[in-house]
C-alpha cells in the first residue's frame, strides 16, 4: 500500500511543470515558490519531501519530519547538507546533457565566426567584415579541429557526440581515465586531470564540464591560460569558480586566448551578488548568457518526470536512484 506524502515544491521553474509532477494524483503537493520565509518554514514542518534547487539552513532545520530532498537539477551545492536531519536523503536529476551540448556547439560556432563582435557592432550601425576591414579575423569551421573536454559525464559525453558528428577530433580528461568510454563517443585520447596541461595545449576549443569541488575550484588560472593556444576558445558550462575570474578576464582582454562563452558565473543576482567583479560585457570576444545552457523544455519535463517517479518510489518503499547524500 502506498501512503500519500506531503510534498513541498519551492522551485519557481518547476511550477511550470505542475501537471507532470502531480500526474499520479497520489500525494499532497504545496507549491511554495512565492511564499514568504515564515510561511515556508511552517509548511516545511509537515513536509515528507522538499523539491528544491536551493534551501536555507533554517528551512532545513525546520523540516523535522523530512525524509527526502529532491534537487531539481544536478548540482546540490546549495543544499545545506549539515543542517538536514538524520536519515534525510538527497537525490538529484539530470536530463540536461543534450541541451547543454547543443549550447556548446552553437556557442563554439558563434565564437569561431566572430558573431558576438559582429552582432554588437551591427546593432550600433557598424558594418564590418573581412570584406571591409583587413583586421577582421577570418572564421573557421569545426571540421578537423581539436575539442578538449574537461570532464566526461553526461554533458561531456553528449558534447563529444555532437562535436564528432561535425568532424571535430575530441579528447578528454576526467577523474577516472580508465572508466569505460560512454556509448557513441569516439575519443582521440582520454587522460586524467594530471594531463590537463597537455589537453589545453593541444585543443582549439576547451569545454569545461566538471562539477565544482575542492579539487576543481580555480582549476583554470593564469598558468593554464598560458598553456593554451592563442586562437583557442573556452566554453564554460560547469560552475564559474572552476575558472579563476581575474585570470580569465586577463586572458580574454589581453588576447592570451581568442574568446570564451561564459554561461556560469562567480555570483548570482538572485542571491544578492553580481555575476562577476570584472566587466566581461566590455569584451567583444565573449559570449555572455545567464546560466541558461540547459534551459529547454526537454530538460525540465524530464526532470519533473524523474521527481514524480522518485516520490512514488519513496512512498512505495522502493530503492531510490541518484542518491547523492
11/155 same-domain check: no
144/282 same-domain check: yes
What nine digits make up the cell of 277? Answer: 567583479
The rounded distance, in Å, linking the Cα atoms of 104 and 98 is 10
Provide block-wise average pLDDT over 10 residues at a time, the chain (325 residues): 92 98 97 95 98 97 98 93 97 97 98 96 96 95 98 97 98 96 97 98 98 94 98 97 98 98 94 94 97 97 98 97 97
The pLDDT of residue 259 is 98
- Which positions ≥6 away from 195 have C-beta within 8 Å? 173, 177
> Is there a domain that residue 250 lies in?
yes
- Which positions ≥6 away from 261 have C-beta within 8 Å? 104, 107, 108, 110, 111, 233, 234, 235, 236, 286, 287, 289
- Which positions ≥6 away from 318 have C-beta within 8 Å? none
141/214 same-domain check: yes
The pLDDT of residue 75 is 87
The pLDDT of residue 15 is 97
Secondary structure of residue 49 in the 3-state scheme: strand
62/157 same-domain check: no
The rounded distance, in Å, linking the Cα atoms of 215 and 199 is 18
> Is there a domain that residue 1 lies in?
no
| Prediction pTM value | 0.92
Structural domain for 250, as ranges? 97-288
Provide the sign of the torsion angle of the four alpha carbons 70, 160, 106, 200, taken in this order. positive
> Is there a domain that residue 56 lies in?
yes
Report how far Cα 239 is from the mean position of its chain's Cα atoms: 6
> Is there a domain that residue 217 lies in?
yes
Tally of CB atoms within 10 A around 64: 10
> Is there a domain that residue 62 lies in?
yes
301/281 same-domain check: no
Backbone angles phi, psi at 164, to 5 degrees: -65, -35
238/307 same-domain check: no
- Which positions ≥6 away from 169 have C-beta within 8 Å? 144, 145, 146, 147, 188
The pLDDT of residue 270 is 82
47/128 same-domain check: no
Q: Cβ distance 154 to 322 under 8 Å?
A: no
Q: Which of 88, 5, 3, 70 is nearest to 310 (CA)?
A: 70
The pLDDT of residue 28 is 98
The rounded distance, in Å, linking the Cα atoms of 53 and 74 is 9
Tally of CB atoms within 10 A around 210: 22
- The CATH code of the domain that includes 306 is 3.40.50.720
233/113 same-domain check: yes
Cross-strand bridge partners of residue 169: 146
The pLDDT of residue 271 is 82
**Total domain count for the chain?**
2
Give one word for 302, left, alpha or beta, with left for phi > 0 and alpha for psi -120 to 50: alpha
Q: Cβ distance 22 to 29 under 8 Å?
A: yes
24/106 same-domain check: no
Q: From residue 15, how far is each of 141, 281, 292, 304, 313 by CA, in Å?
A: 40, 32, 17, 10, 21
The pLDDT of residue 42 is 97
Amino acid at each position: 500500500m502506498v501512503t500519500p506524502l506531503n510534498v513541498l515544491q519551492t522551485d519557481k521553474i518547476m511550477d511550470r511543470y505542475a501537471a507532470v509532477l502531480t500526474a499520479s494524483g497520489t500525494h499532497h503537493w504545496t507549491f511554495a515558490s512565492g511564499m514568504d520565509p515564515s510561511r515556508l518554514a511552517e509548511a516545511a514542518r509537515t513536509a515528507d519531501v522538499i523539491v528544491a534547487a536551493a534551501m536555507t539552513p533554517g528551512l532545513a532545520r525546520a523540516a523535522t519530519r523530512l525524509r527526502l530532498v529532491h534537487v531539481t537539477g544536478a548540482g546540490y551545492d546549495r543544499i545545506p547538507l549539515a543542517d538536514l536531519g538524520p536519515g534525510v536523503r538527497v537525490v538529484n536529476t539530470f536530463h540536461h546533457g543534450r541541451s547543454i551540448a547543443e549550447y556548446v556547439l552553437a556557442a563554439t560556432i558563434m565564437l569561431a565566426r566572430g558573431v558576438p563582435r559582429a552582432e554588437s557592432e551591427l546593432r550600433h550601425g557598424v558594418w564590418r567584415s573581412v570584406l571591409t576591414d583587413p583586421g577582421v579575423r577570418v572564421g573557421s569551421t569545426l571540421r578537423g579541429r581539436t575539442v578538449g573536454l574537461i570532464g566526461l559525464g553526461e554533458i561531456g559525453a553528449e558534447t563529444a557526440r555532437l562535436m564528432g558528428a561535425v568532424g571535430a577530433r575530441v579528447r578528454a580528461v576526467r577523474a577516472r581515465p580508465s572508466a569505460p568510454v560512454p556509448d557513441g563517443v569516439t575519443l582521440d585520447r582520454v587522460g586524467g586531470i594530471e594531463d590537463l596541461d597537455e589537453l589545453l595545449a593541444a585543443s582549439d576549443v576547451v569545454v569545461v564540464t566538471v562539477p565544482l569541488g575542492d579539487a576543481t575550484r580555480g582549476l583554470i588560472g593564469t598558468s593554464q591560460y598560458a598553456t593554451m593556444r592563442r586562437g583557442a576558445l573556452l566554453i564554460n558550462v560547469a560552475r564559474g569558480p572552476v575558472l579563476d575570474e581575474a585570470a580569465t578576464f586577463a586572458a580574454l582582454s589581453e588576447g592570451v586566448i581568442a574568446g570564451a562563452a561564459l554561461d556560469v558565473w562567480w555570483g548570482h543576482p538572485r542571491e544578492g551578488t553580481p555575476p562577476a567583479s570584472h566587466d566581461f560585457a566590455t569584451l567583444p570576444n565573449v559570449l555572455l548568457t545567464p546560466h541558461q545552457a540547459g534551459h529547454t523544455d526537454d530538460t525540465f519535463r524530464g526532470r519533473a518526470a524523474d521527481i514524480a517517479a522518485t516520490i512514488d518510489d519513496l512512498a512505495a518503499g522502493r530503492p531510490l536512484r541518484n542518491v547523492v547524500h
